[in-house]
Structure 1
Amino acid sequence: MVGANILLVDSNRAHFENTLNVFSQIGIQYNLCFAKDDIQAWLMLTGDKKLSPLPKIMLIDINAEGINGIKLIEKIRLDIDLKSTLIFVISDINNDKNKRAALNLNIAGYINRSFEIEEMINFFSILNDYWNNIEFSS
């Protein structure tokens, strides 16, 4: 999937920059795109600013201020073109209600975000191996 898009939905641009840096260090060959909230993300998935190709993988901080991540995941799961998207929830906030809601929406995983560079490298290395060994729907 070299050159494919991954969409990160997070209200903190620094998280995007850190993730982009880790992708570069590891050699992840995906285009990392950034949406600051669920509204911008939805427009990037379906609107005039639609990403091409559509991302097969999304990373969403559902607990970030200004993001209604559960609502976004619900909309994705109902959309014929998006419902097979692999969604990983990442968050540094432990919110059991949101965690249960996300898991009930068939996310690929719920991950507690670490800001330690070594842990980020380890985490994204494992995900990259996974992403490169699974078959995505067309």
Structure 2
Amino acid sequence: MNDHFNFDARRIPEIILVEDDDGDAKAIRRAFHKARIANPIRRVVDGVEALELLRGQNGPCPECFLLLIDINMPRMNGLELLREIRKDKSLKPAIAFILSTSRDDDDMAAAYDANVAGYIFKDTVAKDFFHLISTIDHFWRVVEIPVILPSR
């Protein structure tokens, strides 16, 4: 289990894509490739798998990462995942974006209450997905991304 975060601008963050839809996951990967963004992308299909990855239960967790989370997923949805992340002292500083088809005001409010960096509608980005990915790429180039350090 990890105790704290450190910041290291030299690290390239791994993208953790929390997405149950194969088509959406492929479109996101294609957009990253088209934008020539070489960050590694690791996909999990729901919040349960995401927490297992982030907590190192199924192998090592990436040291530096950015989360792209869908809301509507089986077992544990994106909002439940965000709440669990924010309750966990070692994961609380994680940077997360929501990518969702939901335009529900309650979903958006819940996501921002859980301190997401942004809430992005999938149907809007489908028209200009390349621009979205480029914007996210710019985001992590100008902000400090947390690096998880092992427990001491």
Please, which of 84, 106, 111 is the counterpart of residue 102 of structure 1?
A: 111
SS of residue paired to 2:128? helix
Of 18, 23, 32, the residue aligned with 2:27 is: 18
Cα RMSD (Å): 2.0
Paired residue for 1:90?
Answer: 99
More strand by share: 2
Higher relative contact order (CA 8 A, sep 6+): 2
Number of residues of Structure 1 aligned to a counterpart in Structure 2: 137
What is the match of residue 128 of structure 1?
137
Letter in structure 2 aligned against 1:126: T
SS at match of 2:80: helix
Q: Once the 2 structures are TM-superposed, how far is the Cα of residue 29 of structure 1 from its aligned partner?
A: 2.1
- 1:60 maps to a residue whose letter is I
Against the structure 1 CA distance between its residues 87 and 135, is the aligned structure 2 distance closer, same or farther, given a 3 Å change threshold? same
Out of 6, 9, 14, the residue aligned to residue 18 of structure 2 is: 9
Equivalent residue, structure 1, for 2:85:
76
Aligned 8 A contact 2:64 2:146 in 1: no
- Structure 1's 50 and 71: CA in aligned 2 closer, same or farther, altered over 3 A? farther
In the other structure, the counterpart of 2:6 is: none
- In structure 1, the gaps of 5 or more residues are none
Show the 5 A alignment for 1:40-51: 40-51=49-60
String of CA shifts for 1:78-106, please: whole Å, max 9, x gaps: 22221111110111121221211111111
Percent same amino acid at aligned positions? Answer: 26
Distance 2:87 2:40 in 1: 25
Q: CA deviation at 1:3?
A: 4.4
In the alignment, the residues of structure 2 paired with residue 77 and residue 103 of structure 1 have an alpha-carbon distance, to the nearest angstrom, of 12
